[in-house]
């Protein structure tokens, strides 16, 4: 349960990057929503696979945690959150985005020639105020990640990869266990953006 939907979704996103030709030698990979579940697992997995990972977060105070997970560099999510140009300086070989909205548009605009952006979330918003310029001028691929209706074969592939690519130390770092009686208070902290990684509820305690 510690891996849960977040870890599984992160793995699906990484497989999408790989299938579109992203590899550690191609350059940096950006992970947004870094302190969240999908973000934390994405950082740990990408770093264990040899990528240079740049983590985007609104919680710079959690930089030590993100570096422990394997982030090489931390950037402030505010640098991606506002409307930007259709094309910006090329930086990312790949990206895993949990945020959507202007952030996703700005990531596409700064993805390198033939890079891939895996879009899995909407923490900033569901809108996608982007242009087709990165797609048609730089051959950027926007890979949509759905975890819910995935065919069985994709699920088997993702969980098999999690079994080999996710170390127990990363899992322990990302996860915190709570008692059932702590759920309501933790849920409030989660919606206030104060929970990092993943929380497992032990219903027996």
Residue numbers of the site for ligand NAP (CB under 6 A)?
5-6, 9, 33-39, 57-59, 77, 98-99, 120-124, 145-148, 193
| Under 8 Å between Cβ of 87 and 106 | no
Q: Between residues 57 and 111, which has the closer beta carbon with respect to ligand NAP?
A: 57
Q: How far is the CB of 176 from ligand NAP (least distance, A)?
A: 12
- Say how far apart CA 91 and CA 75 lie, in whole Å: 13
Name the residue nearer to ligand NAP (CB basis): 64 or 136: 64
Q: How far is the CB of 137 from ligand NAP (least distance, A)?
A: 26
Q: Assign 93 to helix, strand or coil.
A: strand
In the bound state, the residue with its beta carbon closest to ligand NAP is 36
Q: What are phi and psi of 147, to 5 degrees?
A: -100, -15
Task: Please state the closest distance from residue 39 (CB atom) to ligand NAP, in A.
Answer: 6
End-to-end CA distance of the chain: 16
Whether the CA torsion 119, 38, 95, 22 is positive or negative: it is negative
| Rounded least distance, CB 37 to ligand NAP, Å | 4
Minimum separation from the CB atom of position 54 to ligand NAP (A): 13
- The residue among 28 and 138 lying less far from ligand NAP, judged by its C-beta, is 28
Report, in Å, the least distance between residue 77 CB and ligand NAP: 5
What span, in angstroms and rounded, lies between the C-alpha atoms of 151 and 66?
32
Q: Which one, 47 or 147, has the nearer CB to ligand NAP?
A: 147
Q: How far apart are CA 62 and CA 192, in angstroms?
A: 15
Q: Which is nearer to ligand NAP, 36 or 94 (CB)?
A: 36
138 versus 196: smaller Cβ distance to ligand NAP? 196
Long-range CB contact pairs, 198-204, < 8 A, 24+: 198/2, 198/4, 198/6, 198/7, 198/37, 198/40, 198/41, 198/174, 199/175, 200/1, 200/2, 200/175, 200/176, 201/177, 202/177, 202/178
């Amino acid at each position: 349960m510690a891996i849960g939907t977040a870890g599984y979704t992160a793995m699906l996103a990484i497989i999408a990057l790989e299938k579109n030709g992203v590899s550690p030698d191609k350059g940096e990979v950006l992970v947004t929503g870094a302190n969240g579940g999908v973000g934390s697992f994405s950082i740990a997995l990408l770093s264990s696979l040899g990528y240079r990972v740049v983590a985007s977060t609104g919680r710079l105070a959690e930089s030590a945690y993100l570096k422990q997970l394997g982030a090489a560099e931390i950037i402030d999510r505010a640098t991606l959150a506002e409307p930007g140009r259709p094309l910006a300086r090329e930086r990312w070989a790949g990206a895993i985005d949990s945020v959507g909205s202007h952030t996703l548009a700005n990531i596409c605009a700064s993805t390198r020639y033939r890079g891939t952006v895996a879009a899995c979330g909407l923490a900033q918003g569901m809108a996608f105020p982007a242009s087709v310029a990165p797609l048609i001028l730089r051959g950027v691929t926007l890979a949509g990640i759905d975890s819910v209706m995935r065919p069985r074969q994709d699920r088997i592939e993702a969980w098999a990869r999690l079994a080999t690519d996710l170390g127990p130390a990363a899992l322990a770092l990302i996860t915190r266990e709570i008692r059932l009686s702590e759920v309501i208070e933790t849920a409030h902290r989660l919606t206030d953006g104060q929970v990092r990684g993943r929380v497992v509820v032990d219903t027996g305690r």
